[in-house]
Structure 1
Amino acid sequence: MFLSDVSIRRPVFTAMLSLCLIVLGLMGLGRLGTDLYPDVSFPVVVVTTVYKGAGPGEIETQVVKPVEDAVAGISGVDKIHSWSRENLSTVVVQFTLSTNVDRAVQEVRDKIAGIANKLPQTADAPVVGRVDLSATPILTYAVSADMPSQSLRRLIDDRIKPALAQLEGAAEVRITGGDTREIQIDVDLDKARSAGVSPLDIAQRVSAENLDLPAGRLALGASELTVRSLGQFRDVDEIRALPVARSRTGSQVRLSEIATVTDGVAERRTVARLNSQDAVILEVVKQPGSNTVAVSDAVKQVLKEMAPEVGQGFTATLLIDQSELIRENAHEVWIALVFGGAMAVLIILMFLLDGRGTFISSLALPTSVIGTFFVMYLLDYTLNQMTLLGLSLAIGLLIDDAVVVREAITHRLEKGEDPMSAAANGTNDVGLAVLATTLSLVAVFVPVAFMPGIVGQFFKQFGITISAAVIVSLFISFTLDPMLSARLAKKRVPGEVHKENAVAAGLRSFLDGTERVYARILGWVLAHKWATTGITVVVLVLSFGAASRLGAEFISPEDRSQFLVDLQLPDSSSLSETEARTGEAEALLRKLPEITAIYSIVGTNGDVNKARMRVLTVGKGERTKGIPVLKDEARALLTPLVATRVNLSDPPTIEGLGDYYPIMVRITGPDLTRVNQEAERVAGILRGLKGTEDVRVEANPPKPELQIRIDRARASDADINAAGLATQLRLAISGDVVAKLREGTNETDIRVRLAERDRSTPERVAQLEVYTPRGLRPVSDLAQVELRDGPSVIEHENRERQIAVYSQLAKGAALGDIANALKEQVKLSPLPPGYAIVYDGQMKSLDEQNEAFTLAFGLAFVFIYMVLASQFESFKHPFTIMASLPLALVGALLGLVVTGYHLSMGAMIGVILLMGLVTKNAILLIDGALQHLREGDSVDVALMKAGPRRLRPILMTSAAMAIGMVPTAVGSGTGSEFRAPMAISVIGGVITSTFLTLLVVPVVFAAMEKVRFWKTPKVETPPVPEEAPVSSGPSRAA
C-alpha cells in the first residue's frame, strides 16, 4: 500500500509524523475541559411572570392563557407546559431538538412583547430565559457561623458571594435560606384614621420622600456646580421621624406616632436546614464550557482561605460536589482503560511470543489514544463520561489493526523474507482487510453519533470519539507499525531453531494445538454443513427464548450515596407546620447509621406545604447496603408521619432537568373532575402492578382561601373599581416594598403594611376600611367576603388542564415490563373525545431510546453492508460476514440474563460495539478464504487454509477485548451501574460470537459461494504466493 510503502522508505519522516501527533494530542489534552456530561443544548424556553397578590385562577386566565396562546403559533414548538401558582406564572415551551435555541428564545421574546398590553398592568414584565444544563450548581454548601442568621446572610451576600462570583469560570452564586433584613412599617389603622391618612397615603409618602434627584447645574464663571436634591433616608430613625400628616391642632404627625417602624427581617417562604438546624445554602454555577473540576477547586480554595479571616466559627459544609463525581467516574474509566490496555498487550505477547513484535504493536495504543485527544480538542469536546467511555471501549479495538498487520509481517518473516520486504508485503496482504474492518467500525459508530432525540444529543461525542480513535489507529497501523517492523525486526532463516524457556514453549505448544484442534473441528463442520446449520438454529432459538425474560429499562439506577425524600402536607398547612413535620422526618431518618447528613428545603417551588430532603450516606464502598435497601428502610421509618405523603426517589440522572420519575402519566382534558377520575383509575392500575411503589396522583387539591368578590354596583356608588380595591387590600395584608434604605453599598427593602392585629383574621379583613373618593368604606360594604376552596396549583399540558400520576419502581423491577402492562390495561377503557393520556418521564425516554437505537442498528447494517460490498466487490459476501451478528447477540443477551441486569442504554452500547467487533473477525476469516479462492483452491480447501491461518489474530483481538472488559464488568465504583451491563454484554457477545463465527461463518460462506446474482466476467489477478502453514516448531523469533 502506498502509505505503508512511503513509511517504510522514509522512517525519519514517519517517526516525526507520529511524534507530531503525540505532541498535538498532549497539548489538546491539557486544554480539554472536564465535565460530567457533554455540553448539550436543549431548546427549552421558560417564561416566568410575577403577579403579586393574584391567585392561581387569576394567574391562569390573565397571564398563562395569553402567554400560551402567543407562543403556540411559533414554528417548531413540541410541547407547552405551564404552572399557575399564587403570585407566579411559569410557562415552559419545549421545541423540537433540531430547533436553534437562540432563535427559539428570540421568537418567544417577540411573541411576549406583542401581548404585553394584554397582561395585567400590576404584573411584572415576563422574563424569558432558556434551560441550560450547565446552569445547574456544581457545588452546594451549607454555611454556618457563631452569629445571628441575618448577620450570616449579610456576610455571605457582601463578602463570600462577590469573592466567588469573580473566579474564572464561575457564572453565578445562589443563596437560599437565612434571614434577610427588612424595614417594616406596620400601620395602626385606628391611629392612621385619626390622623386622616390611609396606608396608601403613607406608602406613597415614604416612596416620594426617599429620593435623590439632580436639579441641574450652576454656571459660576469659569466653573460650574452640579445641584442635587438629597432626600434619601440615611437611617431607620429618619424614617420614624418622617412627617406624614397634621393633627387638628396643626402640629406634625410623625410616622412613628401612627405606625411601628421595625428594623427586622423579611417573612420567609422558604427555609433551608442542615441536620435539623437552620442553615444558609450556597450554590455555585459554572459558565458554559468551563472546566468543572478547575472551578470547583478554585471555589474550595477561596472558602478555605476566607474561613480564618471571617472567624466566628465560620464553616462551609460541602453537601454536593459534582467535581468529585466527575473525578470518581473518570478514575473508574481510567482504571478500565489502563487495565484493558495492559491486558491487550499481555494477550498479544502470549499469542505472538515475540517481545519485539509486541512492543511494536503496543505502541499503537498510547499513540492512538493521545492522537484522539487532539481530535477532541479540535471538535471542542470535553473529558466527560461519554468521551471517556468511548476511549475505554476503544482500547481493545485500537490495537487490533496493529496486531493484524504485525501478525502478517511476522508470517512473512517466518517464510524467510527480509524485514523490509516482509513489512511491505505483510501490510499489503492484510491492508484492505484492515481498512475494511476499520471502516466497518466507523460505520457502526457514526450512526450512534447522529441518533435522534435526547439520547442522540448525549451520544454524539461518544460515537465521534470512538470513530476518531479507530481512524487514528488505522493510520498508525499503516505507518508506524510497518516502519518499526522494517527497522527493528531481524531476518529469520526458515527452519532455524531458537531456544525457548518453558513458559514460551508451553504457550507455543498450546497455540499450535489449538490450531490443530480447530482445523479438525472445521473439517467436520464443512463435511456436515446441514447438521451445523441445524445445531446453530436450535442454539439461536433456545438462546433467544431464554433471553425473552430479559427486562428493559432506560438507565440503570446509579448509586451516588444519596437519595431524595419529598414530603407533602395538606394544602392548608403553614410553613411552620411543614418545617416541624420535616424535623420529625429528619429525626426518624437519623436512626439509619449509614446517613451522614440531611439537607432539607422547606417550601419547595413556593409551596409552603412541601419539603424536599436530600439524604447523604457514607460512600458506596463503606456500606453493605445499597441505596434501594436504604430507601426501603427509610420508607418504613417515615410511615408514622401524620397526614404526610412521603415519596422517595433517586436524584435526577442529570441534575437540573427536574424531577424525572420512571413512571409519569399525564391526563389532560377540559373537565378537571373527569380528568381526576381518570388519574385515579391510572393510579389504581399502577398500584395493582407488581414492581411499583410510591404511586401518587399530583392533583393539587383545592385549598381554603379568603375570597373577596367585588360588588360592582356598590363599588361604583363609592367611585372605586376592582383594581383600586385590590391594590389597597394587597398593601394592607402582604404589604408593598415602596422604597429602599441605602447604607453604603447595602440596600434594605422598606415595606408598608397594616399592623398584625388589623389583618389577623377573616373578620378583621372584612371590617377593613378602604379609602374611596366618597370616604372610608368597610370591605364588606363593597365586596362579598367568604371562605371558599380555591386551586393551589393549576397545571396545563399543551394548553389543557392536566393531572399527573407518578410512580417509583421497586428494587429489581423492569421499567419496560411495567410500562407495557400499564399501557395494555389503560387501553381497555378508552377515554372520551377531548381527553388524552400522555406517557412521560423515563417511560417516554425508553421509547425514544428504543427508536434511536433501532435506527442506529438499521443504519449500521446498511453502512456495514456498503463498506463490505465495496471491499470485496461482491453483493453476497457482506451477507456472509453479517451472519455473525445474531451470533454475538446471543451471548450478549444471555450474559445479561445470567448476571441479572436489564437491557439498558449501557447494554445497548455494548451490543453496538459487538456489531463492529464480530464483523471485524468475520472479515479476517472471509478475506483469507477469498485470497485462497483467487489462487485456485476450492471453497472447502480455501476455508481449511484460511481458518487456522486467521485463528490467532481473531483469538488475540477477541481475548484482548473480553479480558479488558472484566474490570468494568465487576467494578463497583461510581457509575458502575451504567458501565457494567455494557461490559457484560460485550464479554458474553465476544465469547459466543468468536466460537460460533469460526464455525458458522465458513458454512454460510460455502453456501453463498453457490449463489450467483449475475454472471461477471473473469478478471485476471496477479498471482499471490501461497502462504506457508503456520509453523508448529520452536520459535524462530526475530
Structure 2
Amino acid sequence: MILSDVSIRRPVFTAMLSLLLIVLGLMGLKRLGTDLYPDVSFPVVVVNTIYKGAGPGEIETQVIKPLEDAVAGISGVDKIHSFSRENVGTVVVSFTLGTALDTAVQDVRDKVGQAVNKLPTDADAPIVSRVDLSAAPILTYAVSADMTSQTLRKLLDDRIKPALAQLAGVAEVRITGGDTREIQVDIDLDKARAVGITPSQVSQRIGTENLNLPAGRLQLGPNELTVRAMGEFTSVEDLRKLPIARSGTGAQVRLEEIATVTDGVAERRTTARLNARDAVVLEIVKQPGSNTVSVSDAVKKTLAQMGPVVGQGFQATLLIDQSDLIRANTHEVWIALIFGGLMAVLIILMFLLDPRGTFISALALPTSVIGTFFVMYVLGYSLNQMTLLSLSLAIGLLIDDAVVVREAITHRLEQGEDPMSAASNGTRDVGLAVLATTLSLVAVFIPVAFMPGIVGQFFKQFGITISVAVLISLFISFTLDPMLSARFAKARKPGEVHHEPAVFRALRRFLEATENTYARILGWVLRHKWATAGLTVLALVLSFGAASRLGVEFMSAEDRSQLIVELQLPDSSNLAQTTERAAEAEVLLKKIPEITDIYTTVGPNGDVYKARMRVLTVGKDQRTKSIGTLKEEARALLVPNLVSTAITLSDPPSIEGLGDWYPIMVRVVGPDLTRVNEEAERVAGILRTLGTSDVRVDSNPAKPELQIQIDRARAADMDLSAGALAMQLRLAIDGDVSAKLREGTDETDIRVRLRQEDRATPERVRQLMVATPRGLHQVTDVAEVSLKNGPSVIEHENRERQVAVVSQLAKGAALGDVATKLKAAIAQKPLPPGYAIVYDGQMKSLDEQNDAFGIAFGLAFVFIYMVLASQFESFKHPFTIMVSLPLALVGALLGLVVTNYHLSMGAMIGVILLMGLVTKNAILLIDGALHHLREGDSVDEALLKAGPRRLRPILMTSAAMAIGMVPTAVGTGTGSEFRAPMAISVIGGVITSTFLTLLVVPVVFAAMEKLSFGRKKPRAAGTPSAPSVDAPAAHDRAA
C-alpha cells in the first residue's frame, strides 16, 4: 500500500506525523471544556405576560388566546403549552429539534409584536425569552450569618454578587430568599374616607411629589448655570410629612395622619429554608461553553476568601455542586479507560507472545486517543460523560487494526523476509481487510451520531468521537506500525531456535491446544450442519424467550445522593400554611440517619400552596441503602403523617434546568374542563394498578375567590369604566409601587395600599371607596361583591384545555412495561369526539428513543452491507457475515436479564457497539475461507483451514473488549447506573457472539456457497490467487 510504503521509506516523517497528532491532541485536551453531558439545545421559547389583577379566566381569554393564535402559524412549531395563572399568562412554544433557536426566538417575537394590540391596554408588554439549559445553576449555596435576613440579603446584593459576577466564565449570580427593604404606606380606610381621598389618589400624589426635574439653564455672563427643581424624598420622615389632602376646615392633612408609613420588608411570595431555618440562596450560572469545573473552583475560592473579610459568622453551605458530579463521573470513566487499555494490551501480549510486537501495536492506543482530543476541540466538543464513554468503549477496537497488521508482518518475518519487506508485504496482505473492518465500525456509529430527537442530541458527540478515534487508529496501523516493525522487528533465520520464557511456552501450548480443539469441533459442526442450525435456532428461541422478561426504560435512574420531595396543599393554602407543612416534613425526614441536609423552596414559581424539597444524603459509598430504598423510607414517613397534602418523591432531573420530567405523564385534552377532569381521574385510577407511585392529577380544582361584578349601567352613570374600577381595587388591596426612595446608591420601593385590617375580610372590601368623575363612591354602589369559586390555573395543550396526570414508577418497575399496559387499558374505552390523550414526559422520550435506535440499527445494517459488499465484491457474503448480528443480541439481552438491569439508552448503545465488533470478527473468518477457496480447496476444507488460523485474532479482539469492559460493568461510582448496562450488554454479546460466530457463521457460509448457482470450479493447485491475510497455524510457526 502506498501509505505504508511511504511510511517505511521515510521513518522520520512518519514519526513526526505521529508526534504532531500527539502534540495537537494534548493542546486540544488542555483547551477542552468539562461538562457532565454534551451541550444539548432544545428550541423552546417562552412568552410571559403580566396582567395585574386578572384571574386565570381573564388571562386565558384576554392574554393567552391572542398569543396562542399568533404563534400557532410559525413554521416548525411542534407544541404550544400555556398556563393561565393569577396575574400572569405563560405560553411555552416548543419547536421541532433542529430548528435554530435564534430564528425561533425572532419568529415568536415578531408574531407576539403583531398581537400586542389585541391584549388589554393595562397588561404589561409580553416578554419573549429562550429556554437555555446552560442557564441552570452549576453551584447553589445556602448563605447564613449573624445578622438579620434583610441585612444578609443586602450584603449579598451589594458585595458578594458583584465580586462573583466579575469572575471569568460567570454569566449570572442569582439571589433568592431573605427579606428586601420596602417603604410601606398602609392607609387607614376610615381616615382616608373622612378626608375624601382614595388609595389611588394617595399613590398618584406620592408619585408626582417624588421628582427631581430640570428647569432649564441660566446664562451668567460667560458661564452657564443649570436649574433643577428638587422634590425627591430624602428620608422616610420626608414621606411621612407629605401634605396629602385638606380637611373639611381647609387644614393640611399629612400622610402620617391617614396612613402608617413603615420602613419594613416586602411581602414574600416564596421563601427558602435550609435544615428548618430561613435561608438566603445564592446560585451561580456559567457562560455557555465555559469550563464548569474551573468556574466552580474560582467561585469557591472567592467565597472562601470573602468569608473572613465579611465576618459576623458568614457561612455559605454548598447544596448543589455540578462540578463535583462532573469530577466524579469523569474520574470513573478515566479509570475505566486506563484500566481497559492496560487490560487490552495484556490480553494482546498473552495472544501474540511477543513483547516487542505488543509494544509496537499498543502505541496505536494512546496515539489514537490523544489525537481524537484535537478533533474534539476543533468540533467544539467537551470532555463529558458521552465523549469519554465513547473512548473507553473504543479501547478494545483502537488496537485491533494495529494487531492484525502486526500479525501479518510477523508471519512474513517468520517466513524469513527482512523487516523492511515484511512490513511492506504484511501490511499489503491485510490492508483491504483492515480497511473494511474499520469502515464497518464507522458505518455503525455514524447513524448513531445523526439520530433524531433528544437521543440524537445526546449521542451526536458519542458517535462522531468514536468514529474519529477508529479512523485515527486505522491511520496509525498503516503508518506508525509498519514503520516501527520495519525498524525494530527481528527476522527469524532458518534453523534459529527461538527462546522464550516458560510462561510464554505454556501460553503457546494452551493456544495451540485451543486451536486444535476448535478444529475438531468445527469439523463436527460442518459434518452436522442441520443439527447445528437446529440447535442454534433452539438456543435463539429460548434466549429471546428468557429475554422477553426484560424491562425497557429510557435512562437508568442515577444515585446522586439526592432525592426530590414535592408537597402540594389545597390551592387556597397561603405561604405560612405551606411553610408550616414543609417544616413538619423536614422533621419527619430528619429521622432517616442517611439524610444530611434539606433545602426547601416554599412557593416555587409563585405557587404558595406548593413546596419543593431537595434532600441530600451521605455519599453512596458511605451507606448501605440505595437511593431507591431511602425514597421508600421517606414515603412511608411522609404519606401517613401529612394530611391533605399530595406528596411526590423523585430523583433529581438528569439534566439540571430541564424541569419536571415525570416518568409517566398523560395529558387529557378537550373543550369541556369538567369532562377532561373526569377522564383524567379515570387515567389516574388505571395508573394506580400498574406498578406506579405518587399518582397525581394536576386538575387545579376551583378555589374560593372574591368576585367583584361591575354593574355597567350604574358605573356608566358615574362615568366609571370596568378597567378604572379594577385598577383602583388592585392598588388598594395588592398595592402599587408609586415611587422610590433614593439614599445614595440605594433605591427602595415605596408601596401604597390599604392596611391589613382594611383588606382582610370581604366586608371591608365592600366598604372600599373608589374615585369617579362624579365623586367618591363605595364599591357596592357600582358592583356586586360575592364569594364564588374560580379556577386557580388553566392549562392548554395545543390551544385546548388540558389536565395532566403524572406519576413516578414503583421500585423495580420498568417504564416500557407500565406504558404498554397503560396505553392498552386507556384504549379499551375510547374518548368522545373532540377529546384526546397525549403522552408526554419520559414515556414520550422512550417512544422517540425506540424510533431513533430503530432508524440507527436499520441504517447501520445497510451501511455495513454496502461496505462488506464492496470489500468482497459479492452480494451474498455480506449476509453470511451479518448473520452474526442476532447472535450478539442474544448475549446482550441475557446479560441484562441475569444482572437485573433494564434495556435502557446505555444498553442500546452497547448493542450498537456489538454490531461493529461481531462484524469485524466475522470478516476475519470469512476472508480467510475465501482465500482458501481461491486456492482450490472445497468449502469445508477452506473453513477447516481458515477457522483455526483466524481463531487467535478473533479471541484476542473479543477478550480485549470484554475484559476491558469489566471495570465499567462492576463499577459503583457516580454515573455507574448509566454506564453499567452498556458494559454488561457488550460483555454478554461478545461472549455469545464469539462462540456462535466461530460455529454458526461457517455453517451459513457453507450453505450459501453450496446453494450458489454456477460458481466457478476450483483452480488447480499452483494457480495464482489473491494475497492472503492468513498466516500458518500456530503450531506451524512454532515448528
Equivalent residue letter for 1:712: R
Q: Which amino acid aligns with 2:134?
A: S
Asked if 1 retains the 8 angstrom alpha-carbon contact of 2:408 and 2:1031, the reply is no
Q: CA deviation at 1:505?
A: 1.3
Q: Which residue of 1 aligns with 2:240?
A: 240
Residues 872 and 441 of structure 1: is their aligned pair in 2 closer, same or farther, counting only changes over 3 Å?
A: same
Match of 2:672 in 1: 671
Q: What's 1:1032 paired with?
A: 1035
What is aligned with 1:256? 256
Q: Which residue of structure 2 aligns with residue 601 of structure 1?
A: 601
Q: Distance in 1 between matches of 2:445 and 2:497?
A: 45
Tell me the equivalent position of 1:893. 893
Secondary structure at 1:257's aligned position in 2?
helix
What secondary structure, in the 3-state scheme, does the structure 1 residue paired with 2:1010 have?
Answer: coil
Q: 1:106-145 maps to which residues of 2 (within 5 A)?
A: 106-145=106-145
The aligned runs of 1:137-536 (5 Å cut-off) are 137-536=137-536
| CA separation of 1:978 and 1:1026: change in aligned 2, threshold 3 A | closer
Letter of the 1:967 partner, please give it. Answer: P
Distance 1:707 1:1027, change over 3 A: closer
Deviation, 1:744, is 2.1
Quote the residue 2:682 is aligned against.
Answer: 681
- Once the two structures are TM-superposed, the CA of residue 1011 in structure 1 deviates from its matched residue by 4.3
Question: In the TM superposition, what is the alpha-carbon distance from 1:606 to its structure 2 partner?
Answer: 1.0
User: Contact 2:181/2:265 (CA < 8 Å) preserved in 1?
Assistant: yes
Q: Is contact 2:193–2:769 with CA below 8 Å preserved after alignment? A: no
> What is the one-letter code of the residue matched to 1:678?
E
For 2:138, what is the secondary structure of its paired residue?
A: strand
Q: Deviations over 1:252-286 (max 9, x none)?
A: 32212221111000000001000000000111111
Give the structure 2 partner of residue 645 of structure 1.
646
Tell me which moved more, 708-717 or 368-377: 708-717
| 1:817-873 per-position Cα deviation (integer Å, ceiling 9, x unaligned) | 111111111111000100000111111111100000000000000000001111111
Q: What is the distance in 2 between the residues matched to 1:952 and 1:662?
A: 46
User: How far apart, in 1, do the equivalents of 2:40 and 2:808 lie?
Assistant: 27
One-letter amino acid of the structure 1 residue matched with residue 262 of structure 2? T
Q: Contact 1:497–1:1034 (CA<8 Å) still a contact in 2?
A: no
Q: 1:362 to 1:1026 in 2, by over 3 A?
A: closer
Further displaced range: 248-257 or 529-538 = 248-257
CA–CA distance in 1 between the matches of 2:124 and 2:153? 27
CA deviation string 1:540-591 (max 9, x = no partner)? 1111111111111101111010001111111111110110010000000000
Mean Cα deviation higher: 170-179 or 1005-1014: 1005-1014
CA distance in 2, matches of 1:393, 1:4: 27
2: distance between equivalents of 1:646 and 1:757?
A: 34
Give the corresponding residue for 2:720: 720
Once residues 745 and 16 of structure 1 are traced to their aligned partners in structure 2, the CA distance between those partners, rounded to angstroms, is 62
CA distance in 1 between counterparts of 2:697 and 2:390 reads 40
Shift of 1:109: 0.4
Pair 150,325 (structure 1): closer, same or farther in 2 beyond 3 Å: same
What CA deviation, in whole Å up to 9, does each residue of 1:101-136 have, x standing for no partner? 111110110111111111112211111011111011
Residue matched to 1:701:
701
Q: CA deviation at 1:412?
A: 1.5
User: SS of 1:995's equivalent?
Assistant: helix
1:752 offset after TM fit, Å?
0.5
User: CA deviation digits over 1:332-365, x for unaligned, max 9?
Assistant: 1001000000000000111111110111011100
Which residue of structure 2 aligns with residue 59 of structure 1? Answer: 59
The aligned runs of 1:991-1010 (5 Å cut-off) are 991-1010=991-1010
CA contact (8 A) 2:927 2:1029 kept: no
For residues 851 and 372 of structure 1, what CA distance do their matches in structure 2 show? 30
Change (3 A) 1:237 1:981: same
**Distance (whole Å) between structure 2 residues aligned to residue 950 and residue 743 of structure 1:** 86
Moved more, 179-188 or 221-230: 221-230
Q: How far 1:757 moved relative to its partner?
A: 2.1
Q: In the alignment, which residue of structure 1 is the partner of 2:812?
A: 812
Structure 1: stretches of 5+ with no match in the other structure: none
Bigger mean CA offset, 940-949 vs 759-768: 940-949
After superposition, residues 780-791 of structure 1 pair within 5 angstroms as: 780-791=780-791
**Cα distance change of structure 1 residues 392 and 155 upon mapping to structure 2, 3 Å threshold:** same
Aligned residue in 1 for 2:30: 30
826-835 or 496-505: bigger deviation = 496-505
- Cα deviation 1:652-675 (Å, max 9, x = unaligned): 111111111111000010111111
Give the Cα–Cα distance (whole angstroms) in 1 for the partners of residues 533 and 670 of structure 2.
57
1:494 and 1:824 mapped to 2: Cα distance? 75
Name the counterpart of 1:623. 623
Quote the residue 2:560 is aligned against: 560
Partners of 2:317 and 2:584 in 1: how far apart?
22
Give me the whole-angstrom Cα distance separating, in 1, the residues matched to 2:729 and 2:687.
46
Q: Give 1:208 shift.
A: 1.2
The answer to whether the Cα contact below 8 Å between 1:192 and 1:258 also exists between their aligned partners in 2 is yes
Amino acid at match of 1:714: R
- Measured against aligned partners, the alpha-carbon deviations of 1:21-56 in whole angstroms (never above 9, x if no partner) come to 000000000111111111111111000111111111
Q: Alpha-carbon deviation of 1:221? A: 4.1
Select between 340-349 and 755-764 the one with higher mean Cα deviation: 755-764
In 1, Cα distance between the equivalents of 2:836 and 2:1017?
63
Shift of 1:735: 0.5
Matched residues, number? 1035
- The answer to whether the 8 Å contact 2:8/2:486 transfers is yes
Q: 1:567, 1:611 within 8 Å by CA — same for their partners in 2?
A: yes
- Give per-residue Cα distances to partners, 1:856-894, cap 9 Å, x unaligned: 000000000001111111111100110100110010011
In the superposition, the TM-score normalised over structure 1's length comes to 0.98
Structure 2 CA distance for partners of 1:248 and 1:423, relative to 1, 3 Å? same
Answer whether contact 2:198 2:769 (CA < 8 A) is retained.
Answer: no
Which amino acid counterpart does residue 664 of structure 2 have in structure 1?
I
1:597/1:617 contact within 8 Å kept: yes
- CA gap of 1:495–1:940, structure 2 versus 1, over 3 A, is farther
Written as runs of structure 1 = structure 2, the 5 A alignment for 1:32-111 is 32-111=32-111
What is the distance in 2 between the residues matched to 1:1024 and 1:55? 83
Q: Is the 1:500–1:1034 contact (alpha carbons within 8 Å) kept by the matching residues of 2? A: no
AA in 1 matched with 2:88: L
Work out the CA distance in 2 between the residues paired with 1:230 and 1:330. 62
Q: Which contiguous aligned blocks of 4+ residues in structure 1 show a shift greater than 6 angstroms? A: 1013-1021, 1033-1036
Which deviates more from structure 2 when the two are superposed, residues 1004-1013 or residues 133-142? 1004-1013
Q: Which amino acid aligns with 1:901?
A: Y
One-letter amino acid of the counterpart of residue 104, structure 1: A
Report if aligned partners of 1:415, 1:1028 keep a CA contact under 8 Å in 2: no
Supply the distance in 2 between the matched residues of 1:737 and 1:949 (Cα, whole angstroms). 87
CA shift, 1:194, in A, is 3.1
One-letter identity of the residue aligned with 2:311:
G
Aligned to 2:963: 963
Amino acid at match of 1:405: V
Structure 1's 264 and 1029: CA in aligned 2 closer, same or farther, altered over 3 A? same
AA matched with 1:439: L
1:227 Cα deviation after fit: 2.9
Distance, in Å, in 2 between the alignment partners of 1:145 and 1:1028 is: 77
Q: Deviations over 1:683-704 (max 9, x none)?
A: 1111122x21111111111111
Deviations 1:602-649 (A, max 9, x none): 012211111011100000100010111101110110121121111111
State how far apart, in whole Å, the 2-side matches of 1:373 and 1:160 are: 37
In structure 1, the partner of 2:613 is: 613
8 Å contact from structure 1 (residues 497, 1035) kept in 2 = no
Contact 1:31 1:377 in 2 (8 A): yes
Q: How does 1:974-989 map to 2 (within 5 A)?
A: 974-989=974-989
CA distance in 2, matches of 1:396, 1:223: 85
Structure 1 SS opposite 2:910: helix
Deviations 1:960-985 (A, max 9, x none): 00000001101101111111111000
Q: Which amino acid aligns with 1:1030?
A: A
Structure-2 residue corresponding to 1:905: 905
Letter in 2 for 1:65: K
Match of 1:10 in 2: 10
How many percent of aligned residue pairs carry the same amino acid?
A: 78
How far 1:1009 sits from its partner (Å)? Answer: 1.8
Deviation for aligned residue 1:494: 4.2
